[in-house]
Amino acid sequence: MMGQRKGLLADLPSNGYIVTLIAFLFLSSYSFFQVVASIHEYQNESFIRRSNSFFFHGSSEGLYASKLESENDKPPSEDKPLNGKSFIRFESITFRRTKQSAEQKNEMQQRTGLVEAIIIEVGDREKIGGSYLNSHAICCTPELAKNGSCKVGEVIIHQNPDDPDWPKRIQTFFEGKNEEASMVLQNIEIKSTGMYYLYFMFCDPELMGTVISGRTVWRNPYGYLPGKMAPLMTFSGFMSLAYLVLGLAWFLRFGQYWRDIIQLHYHITAVIGLGMCEMALWYFEYANFNSTGNRPMGITIWAVTFTAVKKTVSRLLLLVVSMGYGVVRPTLGGITSKVLLLGVSYFVASEALELVEHLGNINDFSGKARLFLVLPVALLDACFILWIFSSLSKTLEKLQVRRSMAKLELYRKFTNALAVSVLLSVAWIGYELYFNARDPLSELWRRAWIIPAFWTLLAYVLLVVICVLWAPSHNPTGYAYSEETGDDLDEEAISLTGSGVKVAGDLGTMLERKERKVPTAADHHVFGLGEDIEEDKRE
């Protein structure tokens, strides 16, 4: 059943009232377990009372205008929608009123109840209701009908002078004492690009308790993918190609200097591989969605999981690089468990948020409920940032003391790149808040795709920077770990608040490490981060 939102003001100016009404309906969209799709299913959904009317929000999507008619156009059918056409199709829509309501009607009377399906473009939202008549009423009353501007029992709609057919009104009547009324199967063609809202409405209080079943199909000229998501399919394809190019360049370099590979190179390779799989899965997810109208559950779950894994591993890579892993320290030692704990926590929180955003609709949650999913991810991101910059500070300080100029220059470049990315992230978060605040009804839906695309692109750029700075080479001693002083063997635990706490290593462990032999490349483990990782010693 549809969730209801509380706390709305009852008395508002006419224009503000209509805007608030649309926003209210927009927020009370779908149930949590419904998969987002362009085929919207209704299963005995209830109507919500507002003013002197009853509403059910059928759906809202960005739709592009139909393409020009051509000889290849085919007549509409359930299995083969119109090619190049943009439309909303009503399929098997049935309204069921209560038995008490039906028994109160005259069996000989043809029309004993009216339910209206109304399609509006968000720019025409003020054309619904009595705002032009200085009234807050949504349904026509006998007083308002006196001037002939509306009919009693119908929703007040002010037609667009440029297009008298819009906003679109489709009426379905109950007959006699029948408890059910069905809509006629039909397509409503979309001739103008915009964000469209579908409402099912009735004005008769005796129909209270009526429920709706059936489905509507929303289609753009290119397929079922919603308008605001369509650019993401192209973007995912572009990023798949970008990761493929980066992967080929990295693997060629990796194979060329495989004898000089250090442990860090394996982690970079893992992140590149995860990125390639993630973008490919998202592309196929969008392509399947576009062709069928429903999100493919299996592909979506895999894509979401790869996204959470890649985000987690990418942050861990930034963290261990900042700690100087493979450059000023051979292992993470005693802090390995803390690093892994932070990584696992971030994966769980990120996976939960991604699943809800892609397998359900985030509008199902009130602000407080959504906070339980967004807040943990934000806090863990903050922990990563604090820990990363704290570790970078200590690594730079250690390199300055040793006068390791090549490594110092390397880390300065990395620090600058990371600082720029953080500044861009903060600025973009501000832009997101501004964008969402000024667009509560998704009027700017054609630009919404750049919000998630930015974060994907930023992560890719940071990965490219790391690949360039830590690329395999003939002479890896410029950045590879070497036992220059005994300080390298100290293990330090850096708290998540950013303060550094040094923990002295066990003397026996230190002596044992000094006696270790130089390992071969085959002895390395791809995902090892603990004390079992042996360092490459460079001359």
Residues 6+ positions from 8 with CB-CB distance below 8 Å: 20, 24
Question: Which residue did the predictor score with more confidence, 10 or 77?
Answer: 77
Q: Which pLDDT band holds residue 456 (cuts at 50, 70, 90)? A: very high
| CB-count burial class (<10 Å; 0-12, 13-18, 19+) for 145 | middle
Q: How many Å apart are CA 91 and CA 212, to the nearest integer?
A: 12
Q: What is the mean pLDDT of the chain?
A: 75
Name the more confident of 239 and 294: 239
Reported as a single tens digit per residue, the pLDDT across 1-18 is 333 333 332 333 334 433
Q: What is the pLDDT of residue 322?
A: 85
**pLDDT of 501 strictly over 70:** no
φ/ψ of residue 292, rounded to 5: -110, -30
What single DSSP character describes residue 494? E
Q: What is the DSSP letter of 223?
A: B
Give the per-residue pLDDT at 94. Answer: 92
Identify the pLDDT of residue 281. Answer: 92
pLDDT tens sequence across 188-223: 888 888 889 999 999 888 888 899 999 999 998 888
Encoded amino acid at 233, one letter: M
For residue 75, name the pLDDT band (cuts at 50, 70, 90): low
pLDDT value of residue 55: 87
Q: How far is CA 483 from CA 43, 309, 410, 487, 532, in A?
A: 68, 33, 18, 9, 17
423-441 per-position pLDDT tens digit: 998 899 888 888 888 877 7
pLDDT band with cut points at 50, 70 and 90 for residue 473? confident
Contact 276, 474 (CB under 8 A): no
Residues 6 or more apart whose CB falls under 8 angstroms from that of 295 comprise 35, 36, 37, 285, 288, 289, 358, 359
Strand 186-189 to strand 48-50: parallel, antiparallel, or no bridges (unpaired)? unpaired
The residue-averaged pLDDT of 471-491 equals 53
**Contact by Cβ (8 Å): 319, 388:** yes
The whole-number pLDDT of residue 123 equals: 80
Distance CA 253, CA 202 (A): 68
Give the residue with greater pLDDT, 131 vs 446. 446
Beta-strand (E) ranges in 389-464?
A: none
pLDDT of residue 522: 36
Weakest-pLDDT range from 3-7, 162-166, 357-361, 448-452: 3-7
Residue 380 vs residue 527, higher pLDDT: 380
Mean per-residue pLDDT, 112-119: 89
Task: Give yes or no for a contact between 464 and 246, defined as CB atoms under 8 angstroms apart.
Answer: yes
| Contact (CB, 8 A) for 211 and 151 | no
**What is residue 525's predicted lDDT score, i.e. its pLDDT?**
36
Do residues 317 and 268 make contact, with C-beta atoms less than 8 angstroms apart? yes
pLDDT tens for each residue of 249-284: 999 988 888 887 777 788 889 999 999 999 999 999
Cα–Cα distance measured from residue 194 to residue 121, given in angstroms and rounded to the nearest whole number = 6
The yes-or-no verdict on residue 24 having pLDDT over 70 is no
Quick check: helix, strand or coil at residue 228? coil
Best CA proximity match to 144, nearest among 57, 51, 22: 51
248-258 pLDDT, tens per residue? Answer: 999 998 888 88
Condensed to tens digits (0 to 9), the pLDDT of residues 35-67 reads 345 788 898 889 988 888 898 988 888 888 887
pLDDT of 286 strictly over 60: yes
State the pTM of this model.
0.71
Number of Cβ atoms within 10 Å of the Cβ of 386: 16
Q: Peptide bond before 167: cis, by omega within 30 degrees of 0?
A: yes
**What are 154-183's pLDDT values in tens digits?**
888 887 777 777 888 999 998 888 888 899
Angle at 190 between CA 184 and CA 192, to 5 degrees: 155
How high is the pLDDT of residue 328? 66
| Percentage of residues of the chain with pLDDT beyond 70 | 73
Least confident interval from 396-400, 436-440, 508-512: 508-512
3-state DSSP of 109-168 = CCCCEEEEEEEEEHHHHHHECCHHHCCCCCECCHHHHCCCCCCCCCECECCECCECCCCE
Q: Which helix (H) or strand (E) holds 347?
A: helix 336-359
Rg from Cα positions in the chain = 30
| pLDDT of amino acid 135 | 60
What is residue 31's three-state secondary structure? coil
The band of 364, judged by pLDDT with boundaries at 50, 70 and 90, is: very low
Cα–Cα distance for residue pair 354/456, rounded to 1 Å = 14
